[in-house]
Amino acid sequence: MATGRQDAWTMDEDRMLAEIVLEHIRTGSTQLKAFEEVGEKLSRTAAACGFRWNSFVRKKYKNEISEAKKARKAYPKQERKERAPAAGEEPKEKAKTLSVKDIIQFLMDMEAAQSNIQSGSEIQEKLKRENEGLKQELAETKNQLDKLKNEYFRLNNDYASLLGILEKAREVAAIDRGEPRQKEKAQT
């Protein structure tokens, strides 16, 4: 569900929408900019303003729209581009002229940035080489670990075999001394 504004449009809001859109048409601006401006003022989305304009308000202002279009044709093109900001709109900055000193400073900054990019590339290459070395070292360490695991299992098996042989030797020694076997004692 939408959490935006859901209330109905008032006649004053419709009138404000029409006035701002007509002003934008007269000055050669776009309706989209008008919808954004109205949306900010009425706490509605530009899409909601556009929908209201196209579905309802525009039909009531057909004559005014054609007059605004005629006025736009009479409006000088230069003034259209530099339209005076509407109420609540901030004026755009005019183009700033650059001095030779500004251009030189800009070029020096660009040179420093290029130097930083190059040193960054060098650092990246160094890190790549280091990463490859660490990968190789990791592979060697894994091989050593596998060898040690195999050696451990072999020694563990040999140890178990040796314990088995020692147990048999004890039994044989016990028999030679005439002692009853441990297993026979357990059974009786």
Residue ranges per structural domain of the chain: 11-81
Q: What is the pLDDT of residue 109?
A: 83
Q: What is the pLDDT of residue 184?
A: 55
DSSP 3-state of 45: coil
Q: What is the pLDDT of residue 106?
A: 85
- Structure tokens given for 60: 């009531």
Q: Are 61 and 18 in contact (CB under 8 A)?
A: yes
CA distances (Å), 78 to each of 27, 31, 60, 94, in order? Answer: 10, 19, 31, 14
Q: Are 49 and 39 in contact (CB under 8 A)?
A: yes
Q: What is the pLDDT of residue 3?
A: 45
CA distances (Å), 114 to each of 102, 110, 126, in order? Answer: 18, 6, 18
Q: What is the pLDDT of residue 2?
A: 41
Look up residue 58 and give its amino acid. R
Q: What is the pLDDT of residue 185?
A: 55
The single residue listed with the structure tokens 């009479």 is 74
Q: Give the mean pLDDT per block of 10 residues along the chain (188 residues).
A: 66 93 91 92 91 92 89 66 52 65 86 78 86 94 96 96 94 81 56
Q: How far is CA 72 from the centre of its chain?
A: 43
Distance CA 108, CA 85 (A): 37
